[in-house]
Structure 1
Amino acid sequence: MPFRRRPARRRTDGLRRPLAVMASAALAMAAAIVPLATSAAADAAATGDTTVTVNANAGLGTVTSTALGANTAVWDAYMNDPGVAPLYRAAGIGALRYPGGSYSDLYHWVDNTAPGGYVAPGTDFDSFMGTAKASGAQPILIANYGSGTAQEAADWVRYANITKGYGARYWEIGNELYGNGVYGSGWENDTHADKTPDQYAREVKSYAAAMKAVDPTVKIGAVLTMPGNWPDGSVATGDTGDWNHTVLAAVAHDIDFVSVHWYPNTSDGDQSLAAVRQLPGELHEVRDLVDRYAGADSAHIGIAMTEVNSNSGGGAFTSRPNGLFTAEAMMTALENGVFTVDWWDTHNSAGTISTVGGETDYGDMGMLSNGSCSGGVCEPAVNTPFAPYYGIKTLGALSDPGDSMVASGTSGSEVSAHAVLRSDGDLGVLLLNKSSGTEHTVDLRYLGFTAASGTPEVQRWAPGDDGPVDATGTATADSVTLAPYSITVLTLHPKSGTGSAAATVGAPGTPRTTAVGADTVGLSWPAATGTVDRYEVYEQLGTNIQLLGSSTGTSATLSNLPAGSRHTVEVLARDQAGHLSRPSAPLTFTTSTPDDSTCTVSYQVTSGWGNGFVSNVVVSNVGPADIDGWTLTFDWPSAGQAVSSSWNANVTGDGRHVHVTNTDSNAELAPNGGNSVTFGFVGANDGANPSPTSFTLNGTVCRTIS
């Protein structure tokens, strides 16, 4: 029988001993890492080969109603089949993107045409909205930038939201416009004579103004390249910057979200699974870019990953590895600040036929069959789910909108974990075994959560299962055995009187910085519901959290922070009985560098090509004393960054640490900025390529100049 989650219920009895914390609004860094109510399972003897730790007090944000999404396309004759909407609903899909990738820059909504392309019958906007409504999904609509106008887009908003009352909230301006040929490769239709990012930015401002004049509530999205993926960092002839910096510098105060796509450049399913490790760094860099250009408005700008698939050159599109990739990639994106992840796509067509793990892979990037054939091999009946659909369905079983994603970690590279603290106090844990041939037994450990006695509910999707099946009775709260290439979802109920369900206060709102200095940061946050005794601010350190202090109000100052250091913090509320609320969404910030330093460093990436880059560094001595012989050190923010070759300095690397010394010709740095030393290097990046935040010259932390 299919897995069904028990009805929500709330527990309010029981007490928890409060932590001993400071009662001041000025918060100093604390030394202790606070476990917060370790489960009895943590004391159990280890019997498995892998340990998974879940911290229910380390929040990663709230699951949105649009979290799980899928792309639709006007060339798909089965887009609006009656059987499609129930499949969307059963998987928990809450967003549908239309009219379909690059076709969006051909498509004219008013007459359902795409000159130069094929439009299937019955795929017009109203028909699509019928499916969206039947699915309970929010539409994500792509306004035609390539051959359209701002007026055409505004007319679409008027028809959708004024005439028809569809309440279409999210509107992207075009699809992958960086693929219009400006960087040498062109697949996106763009009829503008000027194809630069500057022109795209100008048009985004025009589209946004026209569309919001019709309906001020619509959310406008601009297209960015994914950091660490081509053409990120590329600068076209005559341009002053790359796509992302140019676009955001112009439109950061006119948009409501940014849209990125992610297709890892891999050759098989296992490589695609491994590539998911790149996502957190790449998405953090997107957020850093938005923060840099939007300033205070950044808090209101979301990140949407509106296309994702494995893009595996070795097949593995409809078979099990891509189903595992689907769950891993989509959940990882959501945990790192994305409000919607939209699978590419619902129906596609058969491609290269292969055998993966003993099953036929049809080379089809869709999650449902369209019944097409390739090389004499035909897909199963139309709308038969492929593995990616089942991957999404496991995520739908893991969480509902409004649940809090929480931190989890694993001791083994072949097992990954994701977790949510549900609104009723239950804990959902998803365990993914990425090994094709090795079974793993997992010991489960919890922080901030105490499981009730009895066995958890279990949903499993393993080889031999016809989709996710109810496997309750195959796991305990302390241990579960994972079949190869499987996904297991556990639902654990809290012991009565424990956990956030016992609290009489809600989660605080997302904290924001009010001031950022070299060693202090001011924070504020929206108040929690209920009568709050105090708020507690924690720093996240993997699956642990470190108490920074407490405040009776909704603001605080963090002190004694290292210059140029990155921190992720959250706020929890305690009620008057000592119960701790669910965590707020996290906030990540980087402290500045000292304004009064005796040295300055300018670090600029002058060109890039996705997996490599060229950087230029300028070092100045602005202090009163002469420097004869210098050493500059810094650390890479991302593990995938490295130096390949250099000039005008001796540059060496040891892991993330970079060590630079002068040459014979540039050892002297005159005082008071009398001269500067410039050196450069070619670097490599596997994933994100964020700039270093702190540089030390002969032991002194310099002021970093952007």
Structure 2
Amino acid sequence: MKRFLRAGRDRLLALSVGAFTAAALSVGAFTAAAPAAAATSATVTVDSTHWLANYSSTTPGLNTQVYDANMNRSDIPGLLNNAGIGMMRYPGGSYADVYHWQTNTADGNYVAPNTDFDTFMGTVRAANTQPIITADYGSGTPQEAADWVRYANITKGYGVKYWEIGNEIPGNGEYGAQWETDKHSSHSATTYATNLLQFVSAMKAVDPSIKIGAVLTTPGSWPDGIVGPGDTQDWNHTVLSIAGPKIDFVIVHDYPTSTSEADLLAKPQTNVPSMAGTVRSLINQYAGSNAPNVSIAITETNADKYKDTAPNGLFAPDQMLTWAEHGAFTVDYWAMHNGTDCSHVTTVDGATDYDEGGVLASGPSCEPALDTPFAPYYGISMISKLAQSGDSLIQASSSTSLISAHAVHRGNGDVNVMLINKDPNNSTTVSLSYTGFTPSSAAPTVYTYLKNGTSITSSTTGSGTTQTVPAYSVVVVQMHPSSGGNTGGSSGALHAVGSGKCLDIANSSTTAGTQAQIWDCNSGTAQTLTRTSAKEFRLYANTSTPMCLDDYGKSTSNGIGVMNSSHVSDLLLSHQQPGEAQG
């Protein structure tokens, strides 16, 4: 929920407020975190057999806005690429509901030069990212949105896959507060959902391959749970009950409010699991047979304070990865540049905080030089040291809330672990233990982003079982498997999420050609798959009759059955990562 009504030539005047919360209309004063209790040791347990989600290159995203005169500078693609940014959202928050792409205008509001759609797409392509576009619901029409799809994907061949319908539409006055433009005669959830179906129909008539998202309120935050005039249920239940079977993803904005640094840094673990569970439950309730195909997009998030300094450098990667582990295919930080009016400059943990919500400096008088990276830029960049597209996010648990842990299992058998030390005063010696993986005795590659740092360093320190994580730092440990350990990848069951069951071979058969099935999960040998270094899905891997999953008759046709085969060389599933079949 960002509103920026004026912008200068080289700077932005910006007021940053939280999304969908009553407290969003004021910015809290800086509160110093109390010294954390000494916690000089911790244990992190990594279970490579416990798949959480597939990591996507679109996970780390950023917002950009057509009033940002610096959004397409020549240095931007390199900065985005170096940070591993995989998604760019355009044309920018509440501006999206007044923005008309054909004319590059915003109903009388300021639009910076050289921020039109084609110029933006030039930056996106140069940075090797994907766009997510917010179509104008507030002042636009389904036809205008369909014309945008036609221009983008038919005329220009940009292949824009993800489209949102409106920004924060519940802020249209329906529940008493109004920041979002909505020129429809009715502002109800029913009206939005009904009109949304018209957008879906018009846009997919042009390009059926696109994915379209519906705006939800943030679970647990205003106005979630409130029934508006003309509706019989709250916003989320109403929208999904009408549009759930026709949409491809839902949109949530997550701006947690915090009372201290420690409170902010706890939010990913305390808030995200329940929020994600609520959203997934709503999807399952209303989307019917389409439910497994409906994804979650967090298209705006940021801290409410400490935005440019050490706490946000820790919060940003923790927030992104926690949402990704709970099913979000993108988490888009607000924003690339955000601007400041220089009236809220404070000192946080020995560094200057400008209350600038961007990850790059906008360069006004009080800020560093234009495009100087702030702490969250480096924190987000650390994600690219942890994971690449197609890696499996796996379970990692910590013995203390002061250490966050995230882990991936790579297709070549490697395991990478991110350790975030939330203790501002003490380094922590972390003991790492593993299920389904044995790290090599060779020193791992270790990437470190230190408190108030201006770069990411690499070294070969510690071991795969012990790492010292400095106070207020992010560390990524990259490990190869032991030559005598599991070199192929994770072992375990392949879960069918929708049914709650596991892939199974009937009667534990070792007969080639036996049809695979789903069955109650029982951890038996007929459900234990090992992904080998040759990228095979192997059953009975440690017996005299190892078998592999294979396609039926070596067919490449869609819908062909999966079978059990003794012909390892015939595998056609070698391109998949564990769990990909779960969708």
Q: Which TM class, normalised by the smaller chain length?
A: 0.7 to 0.9
Seen in structure 2, the aligned counterparts of structure 1 residues 116 and 526 have a Cα distance that, compared at 3 Å, is farther
For residue 181 of structure 2, give the secondary structure of its aligned residue in structure 1: coil
User: What residue ranges of structure 2 are gaps of 5+ in the alignment?
Assistant: 1-38, 531-536, 549-575
Residues 1:404 and 1:309: Cα distance change in structure 2 (over 3 Å): same
User: Is the Cα–Cα contact under 8 Å of residues 61 and 586 in structure 1 kept in the other structure?
Assistant: no
Alignment match, 1:269: 261
Residue pair 1:462, 1:485 contacting (<8 A) in 2 also: yes
CA–CA separation in structure 1 for the residues paired with 2:504 and 2:188: 40
The answer as to 2:496 corresponding to 1:511 is yes
Partner of 1:618: none
Q: What is the RMSD of the two structures over their aligned residues, measured on CA atoms?
A: 2.6
* Whole-angstrom CA distance in 2 between matches of 1:570 and 1:369: 50
Q: Distance in 1 between matches of 2:259 and 2:129?
A: 33
Q: What letter is aligned with 2:318? A: E
The verdict on how the C-alpha distance between 1:67 and 1:296 changes in structure 2, with shifts beyond 3 A counting, is same
- The separation in 2 between residues aligned to 1:426 and 1:87, in whole angstroms, is 27
Residues 482-631 of structure 1: pairs in structure 2 closer than 5 A? 482-496=469-483, 498-499=485-486, 501=488, 511-513=496-498, 523=501, 553-557=516-520, 574-578=538-542, 583-584=578-579
**CA offset at residue 575 of structure 1?**
3.2
Measure, in 2, the Cα distance between the counterparts of 1:533 and 1:229.
Answer: 53
Q: Return the offset for 1:261.
A: 0.4
Comparing 253-262 with 492-501, greater Cα deviation is found at: 492-501
Structure 1: distance between partners of 2:358 and 2:40: 37
Tell me if structure 2 keeps the 8 A contact 1:48–1:443: no
Q: Return closer, same or farther for 1:416/1:346 CA change in 2, 3 Å cut-off.
A: same
Could you tell me which residue of structure 1 aligns to residue 391 of structure 2? 403
**8 A Cα contact 2:292 2:498, kept in partner:** no
Is 1:318 the counterpart of 2:308 in the alignment? yes
1:300, CA displacement in angstroms?
0.7
Distance 1:554 1:224, change over 3 A: same
- 1:108-257 counterparts in 2 under 5 A? 108-257=100-249
Contact 2:309 2:452 (8 Å CA) reproduced: no
Q: Tell whether the 8 Å contact from 1:269 to 1:325 is kept in structure 2 after alignment.
A: no
Quote the Cα distance in structure 2 between the aligned partners of 1:91 and 1:533: 47
CA separation in 1, counterparts of 2:433 and 2:115? 49
3-state DSSP of counterpart to 1:127: helix
- Per-residue CA distance 1:233-289 (angstroms, 9 max, x = gap): 111234201000000000011110011000002234332111222111101110110
Corresponding residue to 1:334 among 296, 306, 324: 324
Counterpart of 2:11?
none
Task: Give 1:574 shift.
Answer: 3.6
Rounded to whole Å, the distance in 2 between the matches of 1:400 and 1:524 is 26
CA 1:489–1:354: 2 relative to 1, 3 Å: same
3-state SS, counterpart of residue 291 of structure 1: helix
**1:685-704, Cα deviation, whole Å (9 max, x unpaired):** xxxxxxxxxxxxxxxxxxxx
What are the Cα deviations for residues 494-518 of structure 1, in whole angstroms up to 9, with x where unaligned? 0125326268x9x98761445xxxx
Structure 2 CA distance, aligned partners of 1:464 and 1:488?
Answer: 14
Which whole-Å CA distance do the structure 2 matches of 1:524 and 1:149 have between them? Answer: 45
Correspondence 1:478 to 2:465: yes
Q: Which residue of 2 aligns with 1:441?
A: 429
Please report how far the alpha carbon of residue 224 of structure 1 lies from its aligned counterpart in structure 2 after TM superposition: 0.5
1:509–1:584 CA contact under 8 A, matched in 2: yes
Q: Which of 389, 408, 426 matches 2:414?
A: 426
Label 1:500 to 1:289 Cα distance change in 2 as closer, same or farther (>3 A): farther
Greater CA deviation, 160-169 or 447-456? 447-456
Cα separation, 2, equivalents of 1:221 and 1:447:
37
CA distance in 2 between counterparts of 1:468 and 1:304 reads 28
Q: 1:379 aligns with which of 350, 367, 372?
A: 367
Q: How far does residue 552 in structure 1 lie from its aligned partner after superposition?
A: 6.8
1:614 counterpart residue number: none
Q: Which has the higher strand share?
A: 1
Structure 2 CA distance for partners of 1:502 and 1:302, relative to 1, 3 Å: closer
Q: CA, structure 1 residues 84+533, in 2 after alignment: closer, same or farther (shift >3 Å)? A: farther
- Structure 1 distance, partners of 2:112, 2:248, is 32
Counterpart code for 2:541: A
Structure 1 residue matching 2:516: 3-state secondary structure: coil
Residues 1:348 and 2:312 are matched in the alignment: no
| Separation in 2, partners of 1:105, 1:570 | 50
The alignment's TM-score, normalised by the length of structure 2, stands at 0.81
Output the CA distance in 1 between the equivalents of 2:401 and 2:238: 38
**Aligned-residue offset at 1:525:** 5.8
CA displacement 1:337-381 (0-9 Å, x = unmatched): 1000101000011241000000000100000011023xxxx1111
2:539 aligned partner, one-letter code = D
Equivalent in 382, 385, 389 of residue 394 of structure 1:
382
Indicate conservation of the 8 Å contact 1:425/1:494, yes or no: yes
Contact (CA 8 Å) 1:414, 1:435: kept in 2 or not? yes
Per-residue deviation, residues 47-106 of structure 1 (Å, max 9, x unmatched): 962111101110011111211111110000000001011111111111100000110001
Q: For residues 153-193 of structure 1, give each alpha carbon's deviation from its aligned partner in whole angstroms, at most 9, with x where no partner exists.
A: 00000000000000000000000001111011111111111
In structure 2, give the amino acid aligned to 1:584: G
What SS class does the counterpart of residue 253 from structure 1 fall into?
A: helix
